[in-house]
Amino acid sequence: MMLSQIGLEGQLKLKRAKVLVVGAGGLGCPVLLYLAAAGVGEITILDHDTVELSNLHRQVLHTEGRIGMGKAESARTALQQLNSDIVVHAHRLPFTPSLFHPPLSTSSTPASVMSGSFTLILDCTDNPATRHFLNAYAVAHDVPLVSGGAVRAEGTVGAYGLHLASPSTGGEPVPPQRGPCYACIFPPSPPAPGPPSYASPPVSEAERLEREREEDAYYERLSLAGTGACADEGVVGVLCGVVGIGMVGEAMKVLLGTATPSLHLFSPLSASPYRSIKTRSRKVSCTTCGTTPAPSSATALSTPASRWAAFLADPSGTWPGWQDPLCESPGVGQRGSSRMDARIKVNELREAVREGKARIVDTRPAAEFGIASIEGSVNIPFSRLLKDPSLALAPSPTDPPLPSPPDASKRITFLCRRGNDSLLASRALRRYLAERGSDGETIEVDDVIGGLTAWAREEEGFPVY
C-alpha cells in the first residue's frame, strides 16, 4: 500500500475487485496466493479436479492433509488462512459449455458465473479448448482476461480485451476501445482430422490389413507428434511459479487501470529469461471478438454478446469448435474394432514379472524410464521401435545386457505410460513377425492395458508422475 504505484486509491480498487480464477492447479496456485496477498477483495475459484499427491511439488497451495479434497476448496482453505479479510468462493466445476445449460446451470453454477459479473478473469487452465471458450465468455461479457500458459520450459502471459482509453474526437461519442482478445493473437486451430473411416467393409484380407495399417499409422503420427493419448507435456515446476506471478503482475495492472496490450514470454532456464512484445490491435475478422453480418439476416449483425446469447438459448448447448478436454479423445484401443489384440491386465503383468515369463519392453522416452521403471524391464522408446520393431527381439549392442529369463524371448510384453503406445508397438511387432515369416518358433506379443498408470494404482510405492 505504501508503493506509489498503488497507493490508497489503488488498494481500494483491488479490494473492490471481483476476480474469477479458472483452474487451481500449477498456475492457479501461485496466482491465487498472490492475488489474496495483494488484497483482491473477492475471488471466485472454479476447478473440477481433486488434490493428488503427485500435484504437490508444483501446486503449492495444496497439502498432504487435503489429498482427495476438491482443488477449489483446498485453495479456498489456504487463502482464508492467509487473508481472512477477503471473500473466497470455491466451486468444484469445470469451465465447459455444460456449465451454462441445464442441469448444471440450474443446480450448481453460481449466479456470478452465469451473469459474468466480474472485474477480471484469470485463465489458469491447461488446454486450448477451455482457453478459447473462456476467452469468448470474457469477450461477450466485456471483462478483461489475463491468460497464462506453461509448457515444458516456456511460458506466456498476456492481457486481453483490455478497456483502452478512447481517442479524443472533440465531443463526438466514440465506441469503447478494446485491446485484442486471446483469439486475435492465437487463432483457434481447425479441428484435427479423425482416424480414417471407410464406407464399406473390406473386400479382401489384403484390404483389411491395409486398413489396419492406415489406422495404426494415424495413431502413430499422433503419438510421435506428442498429441496422442500417451502424451504428457511436462512442465518445469519453477515455470508455473514464474508464469503465475507474471499473471498476477498483469492482473494488478488491469485492476489499477495501467495495463497495455502486450505479451510476456518467460523461459527461466534460458540466458535471457524474460521478453515482452507489444501486441497487435484487435483483429476485425476475429471469429471471437469481431462483428460480422449475422448468417440468418441481411441486416442484423452478429456480435460477441449476440453469439453468446444464441449459445445460451440453444437447447443443444454446443459451442463451435468445442472439444471436451475432460473426456480423452478415443485412444487407439478404444475404438470398436475386430482386431485381434492380445492385451493383458496389470495382474497378469505382475505374474509375468514375478515368474520371468516375458521380456518386458517399456516404450516410454528414456527420461521417463529413468524416473521409474519396473524391475527387469528394458527401455526401447516408441519412436525407435516404430522404425525397427525387431529391436524388441534383440536390443541393440549399445543397450545394457538384458536380464533375460529362459522363456523371455518367446513372449514380449509392451508397456507404456497409459497403454496406447504399447498397443501400437505390439501391432508393429506382430506385423513385422508376420512379414518376416515363421522360422519354427512362435513369439507371443502382448501389451498392458492402462500401462504404468494402472500399475501405479495397484503397486504400493510405485510413483505416479
Nearer to Zn ion, 17 or 289 (CB): 289
- How many angstroms separate the CA atoms of 31 and 120, rounded? 13
Residue 182 beta carbon to Zn ion: minimum distance, rounded to whole angstroms: 7
Q: Are the C-beta atoms of residues 425 and 447 closer than 8 Å to each other?
A: yes
Cis peptide before 401 (omega within 30 of 0): no
Phi, psi of 2 (to 5 degrees): -75, -15
Report the run of H or E that residue 215 belongs to, with start and end: helix 205-224
Nearer to Zn ion, 288 or 363 (CB): 288
- Residue 289 in the binding site for Zn ion (CB under 5 A): yes
Residue 137 beta carbon to Zn ion: minimum distance, rounded to whole angstroms: 13
Report the residue from 35, 162, 181, 445 that binds Zn ion according to the rule CB under 5 A: 181
Residue closest to Zn ion (Cβ) = 286
Nearer to Zn ion, 51 or 162 (CB): 162
- Residue 156 in the binding site for Zn ion (CB under 5 A): no
- How many angstroms separate the CA atoms of 23 and 446, rounded? 39
Which parts of 372-447 fold into alpha helices (H)?
Answer: 382-387, 421-436
Nearer to Zn ion, 282 or 417 (CB): 282
Candidate ranges 174-182, 249-257, 368-376, 397-405; the one touching Zn ion (CB under 5 A): 174-182
Phi, psi of 375 (to 5 degrees): -55, 130
Nearer to Zn ion, 251 or 289 (CB): 289
Report the residue from 288, 377, 379, 413 that binds Zn ion according to the rule CB under 5 A: 288
- Residue 183 in the binding site for Zn ion (CB under 5 A): yes
* 3-class DSSP assignment, residue 54: helix
Report the residue from 286, 386, 425, 449 that binds Zn ion according to the rule CB under 5 A: 286
Q: Are the C-beta atoms of residues 234 and 368 closer than 8 Å to each other?
A: no
Q: Are the C-beta atoms of residues 78 and 62 closer than 8 Å to each other?
A: yes
- Residue 135 in the binding site for Zn ion (CB under 5 A): no
Q: Are the C-beta atoms of residues 136 and 186 closer than 8 Å to each other?
A: no
Candidate ranges 75-83, 121-129, 285-293, 297-305; the one touching Zn ion (CB under 5 A): 285-293
Cis peptide before 304 (omega within 30 of 0): no
- Residue 159 in the binding site for Zn ion (CB under 5 A): no
Residue 307 beta carbon to Zn ion: minimum distance, rounded to whole angstroms: 12
Residue 136 beta carbon to Zn ion: minimum distance, rounded to whole angstroms: 9
Candidate ranges 12-20, 85-93, 280-288, 390-398; the one touching Zn ion (CB under 5 A): 280-288
Enter the C-alpha cell of residue 202: 473390406
Phi, psi of 148 (to 5 degrees): -130, 145
- How many angstroms separate the CA atoms of 157 and 123, rounded? 10
Site string for Zn ion, 97-116 (x = CB under 5 A): --------------------
CA angle 465, 76, 16 (to 5 degrees): 130
Residue 160 beta carbon to Zn ion: minimum distance, rounded to whole angstroms: 8
In the complex, which residues of this chain contact Zn ion (CB under 5 A)? 181, 183-184, 286, 288-289
